[in-house]
Structures are given as C-alpha cells and as structure tokens.
Chain A
Amino acid sequence: MRHLLILMTVFLSLAGTAFAAVPTTPSDSPATAATKNREVSAPVAASPAQSTPAAAQPKAAVPAPAPAKIKTNRLITVSMFLAIIAFTMGIVVWAARKTKTAADFYAAGGGITGMQNGWAIAGDYLSAATFLGITGLISIRGIDGFLYAVGPMVSFITILLIIAEPCRNAGKFTMGDILCYRSSPKLVRGAAAISTVAVSIFYLLAQLVGAGKLMQVLLDIPYQASIIGVGILIIVYVGFGGMKATTWVQIIKASLLMSCGVVFTALVLWKSGMNPLRFFADIVASPAVQDHVRGLLKHAAPEPGFDYGQRFLEPGLFLNNPLDQISLGIAWLLGAAGLPHILMRFFTVPTAKAARKSVIVAMFLIGFFFIMTTVLGFGAAIHITPQKISAIDKGGNMGVLMLAQQLGGGAGTIVGDLFLAFVCAVAFATILAVVAGLVLASSAAISHDVYVNIIKDGKATQREQVNVARAASLAVGIVAIWMGIAAEKQNIAHLVALAFAVAASSNFPVIMLSLFWKRFNTAGIVSGLVVGTVAAIGLVMVSPNMTYPKKVAADARKVVEPLEKKQADGVTLAEKELKALEKARADFAQNKNGTSIVGLDAPLFSLKNPGIISAPLGFLAAIIGCLAFRERRSEELFDELYVRQNTGYGMAKAQDH
C-alpha cells in the first residue's frame, strides 16, 4: 500500500517533467526567453542583490554575444534528477518502516550521530540562495560577495556557544518545548507555534518560488508543474519518512554539494596552474572584469592609472550602506540561532556532546564551502565574464551553472552537459533538502504544540501523534504548493531576510532569556514573541524591499524620455529600443498612481534589514513584559531548567526507553 503510494507520487511528480519533454514551443523568442530569465533572481532571495540598480553594463565595451539561455542536455539532466528522486525515495521507504512513535517522527528517535547531524545541518542550512546566489554575487560584485558570506558562518558561533547544547538538554521536539518548560504551557506553545510557522513559511516560500523558476529555466518545466512536483516529493519525504528521511535527504544533499564544490574548485584552480597567487593575478588581469568594474563605477572612460581589475578585489562594489550591513549582521548573528528548522536538528542527537560535535562538523563544512565559493565565483568571472553572467540573470544566479558547463568543454559537449546536469541536480537536491526541513519544522509545531499539547492536553497515543504529524505535513505541503503558485509573480526578495529578522527579533530573545534568566516568565515570552515578530514584519513592510509603484513609474519614465527625445529628433529606433519603449510606457501607465502593499509612495524606513531596530525591540519587550507580571512558579522552576540545560540530567534518560 505504502509502496504503491510512493510509486504514485514519483509518477505524479515526474508528470511535470514528461510534460515539458514535449519539444518546447519555438515561440520562445530570444526576447521572451531573456525576460523570463531575468526573473530568476529568486534563489538569491537572501541577498538584496536584485534591488540594487541593475549592474550598469559597460556600453558595448566588450561585445557580449551572450546566449540568452543556458542550454541543458535534457536527457542527462532529467536522468540525474530521476536518480536523486529514486535514491531518496528508497530512503523514505526504509525510514517509513522505522517511524512508529512521535519521537521517531520528530527527532528520528534521537538516534542520529553527531557526525551525521553535522552533515545534515550543513544540508539544511546551505540553501540554493547560498549556493547559487553567493557564487553569483562574487562573480559580478567581487569580494563583497565573500564579505556577505561571512555572515552565515558567524551564525554558527552563536549556535555553538549559546543555543545547541542547552536546547538539546532542555528540549524535546519543538521550540515550544523549550519555552514552555517553566511557563504557562498553552499560551506559550500557541505563540511559539505561530512564530515557528510564520518563520518557516517565509523561508519556504522563498525557496519554493526560487525552485520553480530554476526548473523553468533549466528544464523548461512549467512553473506550476515544478512547484507541484517539488511539493509532492516533500510531502512524501516528510509525511512518510519523518525526521529520519529528512535527515538523510539533507546528508545526501550536503555530500553532493560538497563534492560539487571540491570538483569545480579544483578544476578552476587547475586552470590557473594550481597556484592561488596566479589565480588572483588572473582575476585582476582579465579585461572583461576590468571593463565590468569600470561599468559598476560608472566611469565613462578609463581613468589613467586606475587598476580596475584590482578594484574587483576591494570592497564597496555591492555593499555600500554600513548601517544596513550591521543590521543584516545582527540578523545573521542572532537569526540563524532562532530558526526553528535548525533548532529542531539538535533534538535528533542523543547527547549534548553529540550536539556540540554536530555544530562543529557543520561549521567546518559550511566554512569550507563558503571559501570554495570564492574560487567558484571568481572563476566564473574569469572564465565566463561578469557581462555574460549578468546578461542571463541580473543577480548572477546562473554563474556557477555556466562555469560548470564551460569547465567541461562548453555547451553541446558531453562533459560540459554532464557537469551542467550535475550542478543542476545538486541545486535540485538542495531545494528538496531545505524545503523538507522547513515543512517538518512547521508540521511539528502544528501537531506537537497545537494539537497534542493544546487541544489534547498532551494526552494522545503514539499512533495518534504520528498520524496527526503526517496529516499536518500533508496540510503544510498543500498550503506551500498553493502559496508557491500564488507567489509566482510576487516580489519575494525580502522573504528570507524577513525570516531571519523575525527569528532574530522574536525567537532568539525569548529562547535565550528562558534558558539564562531566572525571572523570565510567560508574559515575557508572549510579549517578546509578539513584539519581535510584529516589529520585524512591520519594518520590512515599510522598507525599500517592497515594490513601490511610483518608483517603478519614475524608473520607466527615465527609459521613456530619452527614447522619445531620440524619436523626436528624427532617429529611427532599433527594434530592441522600440520594445523597451513600449514596455516602459506600459510600466509607467500601470504604476503611476499605485502605492505599495501598505499604501505608501516611498519607503518609511530606509534599511532593507530591520534587525538593528527589531532585535533590540524584541529583547526589550520580553524584559518589560516579564517585569510587569511576576510569576513565582517560573522562578521556582528555573533551578530545575538550569541544572538540566547545563547537565542534560533527566533528558538523556527520557530518550532511552
């Protein structure tokens, strides 16, 4: 029965591929293909890359006959995708047999080793945004991309030193378990569940929309079919295999990603004679890079004596608002430690010692990977050129894919196609692994916190708990598919930043204060969660991340005016210019009277990242709320929690039976 179901879902999720395998309509004129591709900035949602003014292209300085599309070899790519799906489904069948109790479902029965969990954390954390986005950012913005990548690494200092072990010792399945230890359970669990679901859905939506657009570009699978396909796969992974299957999908993804990184880093370095010094000299000496930097700096003519190549290795080509950087830094530092799907990973290991080991393993993997991204990103800049990369996608998300194809011999060669298919498959596995973790975290909050502990007062049989958890993952999966399809045309660039900001401003303050402050209580938790979440979401709603139609209209006007002037001067416009004019006019007409979602003409808050305001607000609200209502019981229980979170006494035993 179960096998049948799995077979059916595999079939269903492949239906989309089969659909697309029908020879693609040649109606994809280069122009529409190009606009389609330009929308692919989604995976880099974590970075505000897209919102920066389009990389000012040096005007025809380098004739860039960039093909407007990456050509994948469908046979090879689809078979690699199938191999990944088949392999992971095998794991699901195996894991489903072992998933009988609630502990099995949410925490893989506590039977994951520190080493395995470390790989799984890396698999959970390195999303398509980091893999495609950061390499792309480095390839078109130089060292600022690397500076950006330091943030996700710093997150783990907080996770290692403050969060991992206490959470392992004090928690069970969800964030709500840690928070309600010494507070009024129902209220706190409800608030924690809402915050968990909100954070996970923001993050998930960004991943899913990115996935849909990626599949669309790479395999010509229609957007909706890819969202439904990915969604069904995830429901099967999580619903049947629970934490065990999710963990192994993440481990496989992490090893694919690492091997992908190692292989291509080695190939790039090999092209520079395995000599890092020569590699950096190659970047600086590349005429395309020099021209690109000149374009970024908006120097019309080369300034004598200015080393444009070297400038690519200096900061300031992308990150130029220090306050926004600090604000984003706060979100990295505190936010990752409050992400429910990361927290949940620590409940899968048997001891605090294993939790510690898993963070350390993850830190080495993630750090090593980010260092490799500099080689991949700069390699793409040397061998593909920033112009060609940004011609395909403004955010540079396709850079590493193009690099892989080139390293294998270019489009149309077997090795080139094989390499490209391999990177596509890694990106696909990445999306599956990250989304599975997110769906699991939100369904755990719904079933364990809301259903079992609020509705049923904790009185539910193991069988019932597992069934509810499965139903919840089905429900979350369906909602995710629906939202993913609805969000196709939406501006989702702010969603990952929003997830991190909410986690940093609401989850992190209350977790930390619950674990370390004796007087902390129910009122503090609830006010911290509510104020932190509202502040972070509110600030993003009025920030430059949102679409401001009046600004779009003004930009369109900037395109229209010079072209109309040109026309008035009697110059006949090229077909491309006519199209641009037409589009800009339509944009202007559509947007000139619009306002943003919350009815604003211009952003009220000038930073893209709210962390610098919302995180202190979250802490403050938690402290004030707690001081306003004193609760004797939670103070009395602090000793118990404190001894437990420090020693793990009591918890390790609860896992044994």
Chain B
Amino acid sequence: MTQEQTDWAAIANSPKFIELHRRKTTFLFSWWVVGSLSYFILLLAAACTPEIFRVKLVGNINCGYFFCLFQFLLGWGIAMFYAYKANKDFDRLTEEVIGEIEGGISL
C-alpha cells in the first residue's frame, strides 16, 4: 500500500472534507430519523388509534392500507432523493477530496 504516508489527520481536518462529512451526516441521519419515526408512528397508530385506520378513503380502501403503502412510497422517496443528492453534491465533493489527497495539496 502506497497510502501509508498519507497524512489522514490533515485530510480529515481539511475544509473540503469537513464540509463533505458535515453535509452528508446531517442529510443521512435526518432522513434516517424521518424514515424510522414514521414507521414507529405507523405501528403505534395501528395499535392505539385504530379508529383513524378505519376511515375509508376510496371505496373500501381505508387509511390503514394507505398508511402502509405510504411507508413504501416514503422509502422509495428517500432512496430517490438520496440518489439525486449524492449524484449532484456528495460524489462531486468526494472526488474533490480525493483529488486533493492525490495531488498532495491537502498538506
């Protein structure tokens, strides 16, 4: 491995890297919390407020079915949004950081 001489601390403290990891972490954890909270709300609502689940929305299909379906849509939505965001911002920033590491400018 040739990277043994790399000054990892310097990279970790470089403004580019700090920006990358701050933006990524905020994005990832907040959406993770949104996704999981909504799941636990679904479970609790099914157990504690079944009357909401009973409300018929379209024909015989009730809120409960739509809430479950919504969880799937939310999952896909988060996935698509993350893919978009990562392709647009994170990957570009990552490449810049790697460029700095390879160019040795980070020191």
Which residues of chain B (1-53) have a CB below 8 Å from chain A?
Answer: 1, 3, 6, 8-9, 11-12, 17, 20-21, 24, 28-29, 31-32, 35-36, 39-40, 42-44, 46-48, 50, 53
A370 neighbours in B (Cβ, 8 Å): 72
* B61:A276 contact, CB within 8 angstroms: yes
Given A161-B82, A284-B60, A313-B62, A646-B71 contact (CB < 8 Å): no
- Interface flags for A296-322 (1: CB within 8 Å of B; 0: not) read 000000000000001001111001111
* B40 / chain A contacts, CB cutoff of 8 Å: 326, 329
In the assembled complex, B107 has its CB within 8 A of some CB on chain A: no
**Residues in chain B near residue A357, CB distance under 8 A:** 83
How many residues on chain A are close to B (CB under 8 Å)? 55
Whole-angstrom CA separation of A440 from B51 in the bound complex: 47
In the complex, which of the residues A277, A319, A639 contacts B8, with contact meaning CB atoms closer than 8 Å?
Answer: A639
List A153-179 residues whose CB lies under 8 Å from chain B. Answer: 153-154, 156-158, 160-162
Query: B-facing mask of A358-392, CB < 8 A → 1, else 0?
Result: 01100110010011001000000000000000000
Minimal beta-carbon separation of B70 from chain A (angstroms)? 10
| B105 contacts chain A at the CB level, 8 A cutoff | no
Which residues of chain A come closer than 8 Å to B69, judged between CB atoms? 371
- Residues B75 and A363 in contact, CB atoms below 8 Å apart: yes
B31 CB contact (under 8 Å) in A147, A161, A374: A161
Q: Nearest 7 A-B pairs (CB), nearest first?
A: A322-B47, A157-B35, A640-B8, A277-B59, A639-B12, A280-B60, A639-B8
Closest to B38 in A: A154
Per-position binary interface string of chain A over residues 395-430, scored 1 when its CB falls under 8 Å from any chain B CB and 0 otherwise? 000000000000000000000000000000000000
Question: Which residues from chain B contact A316 at a C-beta distance below 8 Å?
Answer: 46-47, 50
| Interface presence of A629 (CB below 8 A) | no
Contact of B28 among A161, A359, A374, A639 (CB under 8 A): A161
CA distance A143 to B31 in the complex (A): 27
B43 contacts A326, CB within 8 Å? yes
CB distance from B27 to the nearest CB of A (A): 8
A313, closest chain B residue (CB): B62
Q: Which residues of B contact A319 (CB under 8 A)?
A: 46-47
Docked Cα-Cα span, A367 to B79, in Å, equals 12
Chain A residues with Cβ below 8 Å from B86 are 353, 356
Give complex CA distance A353, B71 in Å.
25
Assess whether A42 is interfacial by the CB under 8 Å rule: no
Interface residues of B (CB under 8 A from A): 1, 3, 6, 8-9, 11-12, 17, 20-21, 24, 28-29, 31-32, 35-36, 39-40, 42-44, 46-48, 50, 53-54, 56, 58-62, 64-65, 68-69, 71-72, 75-76, 78-80, 82-83, 86, 91, 94, 97-98, 101
B94 and A646 form a contact (CB under 8 A): yes
Whether A280 pairs with B61 at a CB distance below 8 angstroms is yes
Q: A154-B39, A371-B72 are in contact. Are A360 and B98 (CB under 8 A)?
A: no
Out of B42, B78, B83, name the residue touching A150 (CB < 8 Å).
B42
Q: Which of A50-58, A263-271, A587-595, A647-655 contacts B (4 or more CB under 8 A)?
A: A647-655
Residues in chain A near residue B80, CB distance under 8 A = 360
Least CB separation from B60: chain A residue: A280
Contact in complex: B36, A310 (CB < 8 Å): no
CB within 8 Å of B: which A244-284 residues: 276-277, 280-281, 283-284
Of the candidates B50, B75, B82, B98, which one forms a contact with A367 in the assembled complex, judged by CB atoms under 8 Å apart? B75
Does A643 lie at the interface of the complex (its beta carbon under 8 Å from any beta carbon of B)? yes
List, in ascending order, chain A residues with CB within 8 A of B21's CB. Answer: 642, 646
The answer to whether B12 and A161 touch across the interface, beta carbons within 8 angstroms, is no
The answer to whether A310 touches B60, judged by C-beta atoms less than 8 angstroms apart, is: yes
Contacts of B79 in A (CB 8 A): 156, 160, 359-360, 363-364
**16 examples of A-B residue contacts, CB within 8 angstroms:** A147-B64, A150-B42, A151-B39, A158-B32, A161-B28, A162-B28, A284-B60, A316-B46, A322-B43, A322-B47, A326-B40, A329-B39, A363-B75, A646-B17, A646-B24, A654-B1
Q: Bound complex: CA of A143 vs CA of B32, how far in Å?
A: 26
Query: Please, how many angstroms separate the alpha-carbon atoms of A360 and B19 in the complex?
Result: 25
Chain B residues whose CB sits within 8 angstroms of the CB of A314 once the complex forms = 50, 53-54, 62, 64
A277-B61, A313-B64 known, 18 other contacts, Cβ within 8 Å:
A144-B46, A153-B72, A157-B75, A161-B82, A162-B28, A280-B59, A281-B59, A313-B60, A315-B64, A316-B46, A322-B47, A326-B43, A363-B75, A363-B79, A642-B21, A646-B21, A647-B101, A649-B98
